[in-house]
Amino acid sequence: MEGDEVIGTPKHPDWLQMVHIKEGEVPHMIAYVSTRLSRYRPTMRRDIINHRDILVLSLFSGGEVLNLMNIYSDDQHTAIEHLTACVHSLTPFIYMAGDFNCVLTTWDDYEHGESSMAISLRDTASQISLEWARPSNHGPTRISPNPNQRSNVLDLVFLAPSEILISMPRLEHDLQAVLDGSPLAIYKHRLSDPRRVPGEAKRCRVVLHKSCNVPEERTDLDIGPKPPGSGRRTIKPGSEAEKSFISDILRDLAAIPVAAPATKEGVEALANAIATAFLDAWLAHLTESKPTKHSKSWWTDECSEAFGVYQLSRSLADYNKFKKACKDAKDDFFDECIAEIATSRKRPWDLMEWVKQRKLPPCEAIRDGNQPCHNMDDLWDTLHSMYNLASGREYDASVLDELPDEPVREWADFLEHELLSALKGCSNSSAPGPDHVTWVHLKELLKDKHVLALFIVLANACLRAFSPIVLLITFSKLIEKMINRIQFDAVKHDIFHPNQLGSIRQRSTEDAGLILTHLMRAGWVKGLQTSALAFDITQFFPSINHEMFMAVLRKQGFSPVLVEFFASYLVGRSTVYCWNTFQSNSRSADVGVRQGSALSPVIYGLFIAPVMKLFYIKAAPLNTMLLSFVDDGTIPAQSKQLDDNNVGLRKAYKIIYLLFVAFALVLEHNKTELFHFSCRRDAYNPSLDLGYAPHTGVTPLKPKTYWRYLGFYFDRGLTFHEHVRYYATKVFTTVQAMRMLRNSTRGLSPKQRRLLYWSCVVPIATYGYHLWYFDGARNKGAMNQLKRMQRKAALWITGAFRTSPTGSLEALAGLIPVHLMLKKLATCAVYRVATLSDTHPLCSMMGEGLLKRAAPHARSAALMTPAMQGQVKSTVMEVDERVHTLTESFEPFAPKAHPGDRLLDHYADRLHFDERDPAQDRRPYLDELIAKARANPLTVLAATDGSVPQSNQYQAASAAIIYKGHELNAISCAVRLAVKQANCQHMMRCSMAAHSLSTNMYATQPGY
């Protein structure tokens, strides 16, 4: 068998698994706690006893703490000795049980003599006020399969003396198991509290499992008053109730006049009126259900009927019928789920959540230093102090004085098309917020012209009156998505620094990887060594200072309307902390931004941009550069010697550290990483005295063997063997896990499996391929790993035998061979460079034809001699050589491409896209259009089509094969001719192409 040993707990959604896995040790104790006990905060308590063979579990019932202990004692009696040594520091326990592996006449009637370890166990239990509880049907717990050997009592239960008579344990012989040929008895033990009134106690079963080598203990506990039941209030999606819900909202909103409020009070009044309409409709149509522990989403009436018959007869035949009814119900239910996700929604990648690795839920309390937070108030205080470390931290806005003031840019109001475009990209499967409205509901509501106008007025009034919406949670998120248009301005006007990557338009992680790899390979040709210092900002998003951010926005020339809106958007914020099912009260949050917000990426970029610009001013004498990706930064340095790189890196790190301090941010020094690249085979790999603890003096920062940066695994020689191995292994396990989504009779269809592979597996397998796949690269080993991965996927898609040839499998599955797939992706990547903004960081590495407005880097192709260009092998050089084959030109940040100034933004009511099913006969419809156009002398009808023949011997002409580029050109020519016609007030465009609608939409977008 290949692979590493799997050590952990079998998982079940109805049980919370608790296990302490320590590297180098195999755990012996496992605890399973029903999720129905979550309100009692079950917690594994290593702060009481931290030992591999002892597991302490605590339940918190009101102000009472109930401690339970489970023990496995090996043949060396390690656990008993440890328990004896620490007994004086133990807290009170109500229960102790386990396999103690020692005999004593007290509990073993067949044993003659006393074990010193058993006597020690008895005395230890007595010191924590526990006594051995004799089962009502006492007998051996380990039954020897050899009749000549005597059975023993090794499994014991210890209880408080007051509980023994009330809660006497009992051996459950019906649950007796056989392990290694030895029958094992299982305890079933019930505890009850005489101080509680009968019938009002909450009875729960805590199942404490031990390792597979020992018996299992089960205990039923009455742990407190039964909490009051709470129902679940919902409106079923797609039901008549949901249709009535939307209809009532439309009726109430129709009564609200479309008038723009000019004051903050007016905005709040309009938002309250809309929120009231939502709430009234919700209360009128909700349904309340009360899920129980027996509730199953797949349960049907047939299951209930079969179960009722079995309850009356108790026959094996009826039981089998009941099990078959349940199995059929489960099959039908999950088949419907798969069909809805993969066919109706056409999002088979959502099924990947079913096959992903599931992490164990938290089972230990958060620690404040060395002290665990078992009290909820202490927990909330710890969380609040952790996520508000920057509260009250000083900042220095004067550091911005070194930067010039950008000219102020005006803010354009939101328009209908912009709102609908932002809404179109929202998921239909999101859960409703506190206002009970989902994106699906908003999409239905905004089809009404009155509601659309009302929401546009409200969105613009929020900015003009500086009043963020609080009650309309879903709509406020939509406004945030529209405000995100400021990213367009920031890129176009160079507000962002060119070396800022991540969460910015057209700037990705792979761009950062390409820049780094080209920098190193070009440096090696010139005899330079490259080093990189990676740092991390401590809690970046929760630490953004609001006042400093306002100063940055003013410096960057944003409209006062936007600055004042952000001032009111960030001031007076509060936060609520959640821990499992528990929730804190509202607490003030005077720093930071919400990380899940649509605005958080652009806020990050704007806040970091002046830091980047100031660094390049202050670090100009140093031979370094700075790359930033959200809260991760990298400082590369190049020189002839690695020691010289270390000197430059230390100075650069000090500069960036002081700049972040001025912005009220702190670097996390213990996460700083150093990596030296070298094409030489020498072992010299010097450490760095960073100048900040803990990496200073006798504990310098040591370089890593492999450097994981933005998901890329760098090695010193840039072979990327570790990178390819990691992702090949990841996709292998992903494909293996995807097998659960189908079998020979049920599950996904081959077409859906192929789509799932292309959308979920190929992006993982090819992540970062630009770094190792280019002309002249040695990548045969990487290609072979990807070929094996694709073969496995093709077997899963087709269901063919594993002896089938690879080429035939790929042909049947409709998969491009790996080498051709990478070649196609590489070609697309080459052409992508032509669509980048003028100051994109990749352009600074290109030749003169692609520099645009970017300043050429010292290692750019534009500054290389022809001889050096032939020696440097990288993706950047390949792009520079091949991009000339692209004849189209692009202007992604054209003035007419600005959100709010686009053609559809201003003339949405004059442009109509008629969606017709291409499978239907459209001739009658086209004849009607022609007749309508001819009847109106002020209408021009433009019929267009375009294609390119497959042979290069002929020119482009009308043909059966349609190509999007020439389609757009044909539309453009038709529009130009049409507008030159006299007395033209209407223009209609017809096309027989199946993809004509999407082509028409592209034709209205500037920059194409």
pLDDT, tens only, 288-321: 776 665 667 788 889 999 999 999 998 999 999 9
At 946 the pLDDT is 64
**156: Cβ–Cβ under 8 A, 6 or more apart, which residues?**
97, 98, 100, 107, 132
- pLDDT (average), residues 135-161: 77
φ, ψ at 99 (rounded to 5°)? -95, 105
- 392-398: long-range pairs with CB below 8 Å, 24+: 393/543, 393/545, 393/591, 393/664, 394/664, 395/545, 395/547, 395/548, 395/662, 395/663, 395/664, 396/662, 397/547, 397/548, 397/551
Higher pLDDT, 431 or 118: 118
pLDDT for res 197:
32
* Mean pLDDT score, 42-65: 85
Q: What is the pLDDT of residue 32?
A: 81
| pLDDT at position 662 over 90 | yes
Which of the given ranges, 147-151, 476-480, 665-669, has the highest pLDDT on average? 665-669
Question: Based on C-alpha coordinates, what's the Rg of the chain?
Answer: 35
DSSP H or E segment with residue 986: strand 986-990
pLDDT of residue 979: 54
User: Which residues, other chains included, contact 395 with Cβ-Cβ below 8 Å and sequence gap of 6+?
Assistant: 545, 547, 548, 662, 663, 664
CA 635 to mean position of chain CA atoms: 27
- Residue 471's pLDDT band (boundaries 50, 70, 90)? low
Segment 155-179 mean pLDDT: 70
Read off the pLDDT of each residue in 785-803 and give the average, rounded to a whole number. Answer: 89
- Beta-carbon contacts of 715 under 8 Å, excluding residues fewer than 6 positions away, are 705, 706, 707, 721, 722
Higher pLDDT, residue 396 or 991: 396
> What letter would DSSP give residue 701?
B
What is the SS3 assignment for 484?
Answer: coil
Average pLDDT (842-858) is 86
pLDDT of residue 663: 93
Share of the chain above pLDDT 90, in %: 18
Contact between 207 and 34 (Cβ < 8 Å): yes
Whole-angstrom Cα distance, residue 325 to residue 674? 61
Residue 964 has pLDDT above 50, yes or no: no
Residues 399-414: what's their mean pLDDT?
Answer: 90
Nearest of 5, 55, 59 to residue 30 by alpha carbon: 55
**What's the pLDDT band for 984 if we cut at 50, 70, 90?**
low
Helix (H, G, I), strand (E, B) or coil at 292: coil
The larger pLDDT score, comparing residue 948 to residue 529, is at 529
Indicate if the pLDDT at residue 590 is higher than 70: yes
* Band of residue 110 on the pLDDT scale cut at 50, 70, 90: low
Task: Please determine, for residue 706, whether its predicted confidence score (pLDDT) is greater than 60.
Answer: yes
Nearest CA-CA partner of 710 in 754, 673, 662, 655: 673
pLDDT digits (tens, 9 = 90+) for 122-141: 888 888 888 888 887 777 77
Chain Cα centroid distance, residue 475: 23
Provide the pairing of β-strand 587-588 with 574-575. Answer: antiparallel
d(C-alpha 665, C-alpha 668), whole Å: 10
Q: What is the pLDDT of residues 239-257, one digit of tens each?
A: 888 899 999 999 999 999 9
Q: Are strands 582-583 and 182-191 parallel, antiparallel or unpaired?
A: unpaired
Angle between helices 449-464 and 560-570 (to 10 degrees): 90
pLDDT of 966 > 50? The answer is no
- Cα 523 to Cα 517: distance, rounded to the nearest angstrom: 10
Q: For 566-575, how does the pLDDT look when each residue is reduced to its tens digit (9 = 90+)? A: 888 887 778 8
b/e per residue 564-600 (b: at least 16 CB within 10 A): bbbeebbeeeebebebeeeebeeeebbbbbbeebbbb
C-alpha closest to that of 665 among 555, 544, 548 = 544
Nearest to 98 by CA among 230, 2, 215: 215
> Looking at residue 210, what is its pLDDT?
39
Tokens 């008549």 appear where? 240
At residue 380, φ and ψ (nearest 5 deg) are -65, -40
State whether the Cα torsion 789-790-791-792 is positive or negative. Answer: positive
Residue 923 has pLDDT above 50, yes or no: yes
pLDDT at 613: 93
Buried b (16+ CB within 10 A) or exposed e, 309-320: bbeeeeeeebee
What does the pLDDT look like over 596-617, one tens digit per residue? 778 888 888 899 999 999 999 9
pLDDT given at position 615:
94
Over 196-249, what HEC string results? CCCCCEEEEEEEEEECCCCCCEEEEEEEEECCCCCCEEECCCCCHHHHHHHHHH
Phi and psi at residue 422, to the nearest 5°:
-65, -35
Residues 6+ apart with CB under 8 A from 639: 528, 529, 623, 645, 648
Confidence of residue 94 (pLDDT cuts 50, 70, 90): confident
Total length of the chain: 1008
Taking each helix axis as running N to C, give the angle between helix 240-254 and helix 264-285, from 0 to 180 degrees, rounded to the nearest 10.
150
Q: Which of the two residues, 670 and 574, has the higher pLDDT score?
A: 670
Average confidence score pLDDT of the chain: 79
What is residue 1008's predicted lDDT score, i.e. its pLDDT?
Answer: 43
**CA pair distance 58, 43, nearest whole angstrom:** 5
Burial grade of 820 (CB within 10 A; 0-12, 13-18, 19 or more): exposed
Residue 182: pLDDT over 80 = no
Instruction: Answer whether residue 279 shows pLDDT above 50.
Output: yes
Task: Give the residue-averaged pLDDT of 514-533.
Answer: 91
SS3 category, 989: strand
Return the SS3 of 923: helix
In terms of Cα–Cα distance, which of 5, 420, 448, 433 is closest to 252? 448
Helix (H) or strand (E) holding 674: strand 673-677
Give the relative orientation of helices 546-555 and 600-618 as an angle to the nearest 10 degrees: 70
C-alpha to C-alpha distance for 277 and 591, rounded to whole angstroms: 33
Look at residue 634 and tell me whether its pLDDT is greater than 80.
yes
What is the predicted pLDDT for the residue at 884?
82
pLDDT beyond 90 at 655: yes
CB atoms within 10 A of CB 205: 15
Query: Which residue from 822, 819, 800 is spatially nearest to 809, judged by alpha carbons?
Result: 800
Output the pLDDT for position 595: 74
pLDDT at 636: 93
pLDDT value at 803 more than 70 = yes
* Strand stretches in 364-461, DSSP E: 367-368, 371-372
pLDDT for the residue 796:
87
900 Ramachandran zone, left/alpha/beta (phi>0; psi -120 to 50): left
Average pLDDT for residues 423-445, to the nearest whole number? Answer: 81
> For residues 445 and 246, what is the distance between their CA atoms, to the nearest angstrom?
7
Confidence of residue 355 (pLDDT cuts 50, 70, 90): low
930-942 average pLDDT score = 74
The pLDDT, as a whole number, for residue 193 is 35
Confidence check: pLDDT of 187 > 50: no
User: What is the percent of the chain where pLDDT is above 70?
Assistant: 80
Distance CA 166, CA 162 (A): 8
Q: Which span out of 133-147, 148-162, 708-722, 968-982 was modeled with the highest average pLDDT?
A: 708-722
170-184, 336-350, 362-376: segment of lowest average pLDDT:
170-184
Residue 43 has pLDDT above 70, yes or no: yes
* Tokens found for residue 753: 């499996």
pLDDT at residue 985 in the model: 58
Across the range 83-109, mean pLDDT stands at 84
Tell me the H-state helices in 359-448. 376-387, 416-424, 439-445
Q: How many CB atoms lie within 10 A of CB 928?
A: 10
Q: Which helix (H) or strand (E) holds 1001?
A: helix 996-1003
Greater confidence (451 vs 569) lies with: 451
- Residue 817 confidence (pLDDT): 92
Q: Which residues pair with 372 in a beta bridge?
A: 367
Q: Say which DSSP state 742 is in.
A: B
* Residue 362 to residue 370: CA distance in whole angstroms: 17
